[in-house]
Structures are given as structure tokens and as C-alpha cells.
């Protein structure tokens, strides 16, 4: 944005300084809750329970985290922190990869083939676009019970894959591929699989990355659905486990461990978003419009 740095329309120095001030204020408000919990996770339960909390890290960081990983959490929730993180990772990855796989396949079929009932298929998928699982939880839950999917990974993953967003997104992107590219590939002798593998997939990588981030976050942050279809603590996600810890909070609750769990529940998705920011922002803004 070098060209915006001067010229009559560039912000004056004073207004620029003011803008920085506002942004810093905004960042403080936005980042404070996260900073707060990170700080809290480094203090002892006694310190946490005696407000105000110091704004600098405490000395208990090592012992809190060590305690959490070496069984402190198991005592509270019945399963280890590793298991919780493992479950959540598996579900988030399952949703992200599953969604990319099935939606790429169906978008590929809809854009690059002509077959009977093609538009019917498209609409059947398209209508599900904006109906989140929250509006049909009760009957969906019943379906899960009927299929015996309660307390299973497929039960946690599959219903959340049933959405049209990624399909529409891939369809939109595939339609921007010049059709001469397909023709050239066909003349070169490529069939559907080779065209996908050699040409479409490499060209889709940015979009795949964007959708991966968005869906990974979506999977990681799921709440209502895991709450319903998991009875056993073994199947809990870290978000659900955290909620359970707080629900049964009493004077003896080791808040320092709750804070550690909170940090571990928010850190992985934040890292994914920050490190894949470029694709994430592009994917979010360009595709959801």
C-alpha cells in the first residue's frame, strides 16, 4: 500500500496517530480476555480467587501445566488432557478433511459433468446452505440414536459435514477455471481423475487451505452437538470438558487447572488462524461473499 502513504488523501500525521491509538485500544479490548486467561493459568488457585489478578505472569506456570498434563485434569474430568486434545483434534480434522473431500467431489461432479438430475442434486445440497445444526438438533439426535452413533467419532463428525458452504465455494471456484484448460487437458489425454489430480487440485490449493482453516476452527469450536451426542467422558472434547469442570465448580475447584485447560482449548485454533492467516482471510472474505 505504498501509494497510499502520501498524496493529498493520505491521513494527516495527527489523524494517523489517533487511528493508531484507537487500534491499540481495540486490540487491548479484543486481546485482553485471552491475555487474562493466559496470565491466570500461571498463577495459583489462591491468587486467582483473590481479585484483582496481577497483570503479569506468575511463578506457577510450570507447575500448573505440569500438573494439568500429568493427571490433574483426569482427577476433575475423568480423562486425561491428552485424550481431550486428541478427541478435539480428531473431530476438527475429521470435519475439515471430510468436508473438503465430499464437497470437492460433489462440486467436481456438478461443474465438470452433465448427468441426469444434476440440477436437482445441486439444489438438494444448496438448500442446506444456511440451516445450522442448531435448528434441527432434536430430530438429528434421534437419527443418531437410531443409527447407534452416540458416543462415536462418526456421530460427532458426520452430521457436521452435512452443509453446503464448502460445496458452493468449490463450485464457485471451479467455475472460474477457464474451460479451455479442461479442453486442453482432454486433448492431452487426461481423463477425469488425471485432470483432477494434475490440474484442478494444484490450482485449488489456496482455496483448500482457506476452507481447511475455516472448517478446522468450526470443528474445534463445536459445542452444542458434542454436548448432546457424548455421554461418556472418554468422548468429550476439550470445550465440553471445560464446561463440565466449571458447572461443578465449588470451593475446591482447582481454578489454576481450569485456566490451563482454557488456554489449551483456545491455543491450537488461534495458532492455526494466525499461521495460516493469509489463506484464511482470503478464503473467508473472498468466498463467503
Partner 1 sequence: MAHILLKELRKSYAGQEVIHGVSMDIADGEFVVIVGPSGCGKSTLLRMVAGLEGITAGTIEIGGRVVNDLEPRDRDIAMVFQNYALYPHMSVRENMAYGLKISKMPKPEIEQRVARAATMLELEPYLDRKPRALSGGQRQRVAMGRALVREPSALLLDEPLSNLDAKLRVQMRLQIKDMHLRTGQTTLYVTHDQVEAMTLADRLIVMNKGIAEQIATPSEVYRTPASEFVAGFIGSPAMNIFTIRAEAGTAILPGGHRLAIAGIPASGEVRLGLRPEDLEVTDADTASIPIDLRSVEHLGADAFGYGVIVGSDILLTLRLPGTSTAQRGDRLNVAPFPGRLHLFSIETGKRI
Partner 2 sequence: MNRTVFPHKLLPWLLVTPQLAITVIFFYWPAAQAFRQSMLREDAFGLSTSFVGFSNFRRVLSDPNYLNALQVTVIFSILVAFCAMSIALFLAVQAEKIVRGKGFYRTMMIWPYAVAPAIAGMLWLFMFNPSFGTLAWPLRQLGIAWNPLLDGEQAMGLVVAASTWKQISYNFLFFVAGLQAIPRSLQEAAAVDGASRRHAFWTIVFPLLAPTTFFLLVVNTVYALFDTFGIIHAVTGGGPGKSTETLVYKVYNDGFVNLIMGDSAAQSVILMVIVIGLTAFQFRFIERRVHYG
Q: CB neighbours (10 Å) of residue 13?
A: 8
Output the nine-digit C-alpha cell for 77. 474430568
- Among 61-69, 75-83, 108-116, 197-205, which window interacts with partner 2 (CB under 8 A)? 108-116
Q: Peptide bond before 228: cis, by omega within 30 degrees of 0? A: no
Q: Taking the complex as a whole, how short is the minimal distance between the CB of residue 66 and partner 2, in angstroms? A: 22
56 binds, among partner 2, partner 1, none (CB under 5 to 8 A by kind): none
- Give the CA count within 13 Å in the CB-facing half-sphere of 123: 4
The site map against partner 2 for 131-160 (x = CB under 8 A) is: xx-xxxxxxxxxx---x----------xx-
Q: Choose from partner 1, partner 2, none: what does 37 bind? Cβ within 5-8 Å by kind.
A: partner 2
* DSSP label of 10: S
Count of CB atoms within 10 A of residue 281's CB?
A: 13
Residues that bind partner 1 (CB under 8 A): 178, 180-181, 183-190, 194, 198-199, 202-203
203 binds, among partner 1, partner 2, none (CB under 5 to 8 A by kind): partner 1
Tell whether residue 183 is a contact of partner 2 (CB under 8 A).
yes
Picking from 59, 29, 28, the residue whose alpha carbon sits closest to that of residue 41 is: 59
Rounded CA-CA distance 12/134 in Å is 48
Span 75-94, contacts to partner 2 by CB under 8 A? none
Say if residues 104 and 173 touch (Cβ distance below 8 Å): no
CB of 197 to partner 1, least distance (A): 11
Q: Is 65 in the site for partner 2 (CB under 8 A)?
A: no
27 binds partner 2 (CB under 8 A): yes
Q: Which residues of 100-111 are buried (b: 16+ CB within 10 A; e: fewer)?
A: beebbebbbbbb
Q: Which of 59, 119, 130, 145 binds partner 2 (CB under 8 A)?
A: 130
Q: Is 109 in the site for partner 2 (CB under 8 A)?
A: yes
222 close to 237: Cβ distance less than 8 angstroms: yes
Position among 129, 153, 188, 198 found at the interface with partner 2 (CB under 8 A) = 129
188 vs 234 by CB, closer to partner 1 = 188
Amino acid at each position: 500500500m505504498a501509494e497510499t502513504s502520501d498524496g493529498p488523501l493520505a491521513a494527516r500525521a495527527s489523524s494517523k496517530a489517533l487511528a493508531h491509538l484507537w487500534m491499540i485500544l481495540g486490540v487491548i479490548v479484543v486481546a485482553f480476555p485471552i491475555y487474562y486467561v493466559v496470565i491466570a493459568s500461571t498463577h495459583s488457585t489462591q491468587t486467582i480467587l483473590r481479585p484483582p489478578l496481577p497483570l503479569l505472569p506468575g511463578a506457577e506456570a510450570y507447575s500448573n501445566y505440569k500438573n494439568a498434563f500429568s493427571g490433574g485434569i483426569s482427577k476433575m474430568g475423568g480423562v486425561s488432557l491428552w485424550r481431550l486434545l486428541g478427541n478435539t483434534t480428531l473431530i476438527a480434522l475429521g470435519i475439515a478433511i471430510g468436508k473438503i473431500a465430499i464437497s470437492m467431489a460433489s462440486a467436481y461432479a456438478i461443474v465438470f459433468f452433465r448427468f441426469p438430475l444434476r440440477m436437482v442434486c445441486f439444489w438438494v445440497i444448496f438448500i442446506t446452505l444456511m440451516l445450522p445444526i442448531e435448528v434441527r438438533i432434536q430430530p438429528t439426535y434421534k437419527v443418531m440414536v437410531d443409527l447407534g452413533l452416540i458416543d462415536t467419532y462418526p456421530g460427532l463428525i458426520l452430521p457436521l459435514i452435512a452443509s453446503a458452504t464448502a460445496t458452493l465455494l468449490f463450485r464457485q471456484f471451479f467455475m472460474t477455471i477457464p474451460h479451455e484448460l479442461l479442453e486442453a487437458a482432454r486433448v492431452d489425454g487426461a481423463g477425469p481423475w488425471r485432470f483432477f489430480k494434475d490440474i484442478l487440485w494444484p490450482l485449488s490449493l489456496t482455496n483448500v487451505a482457506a476452507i481447511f482453516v475455516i472448517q478446522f476452527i468450526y470443528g474445534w469450536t463445536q459445542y452444542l452437538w458434542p454436548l448432546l451426542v457424548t455421554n461418556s467422558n472418554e468422548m468429550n472434547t476439550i470445550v465440553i470438558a471445560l464446561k463440565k469442570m466449571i458447572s461443578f465448580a465449588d470451593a475446591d475447584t482447582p481454578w489454576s487447572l481450569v485456566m490451563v485447560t482454557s488456554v489449551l482449548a483456545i491455543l491450537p485454533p488461534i495458532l492455526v488462524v494466525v499461521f495460516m492467516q493469509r489463506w484464511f482471510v482470503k478464503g473467508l472474505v473472498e468466498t463467503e461473499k
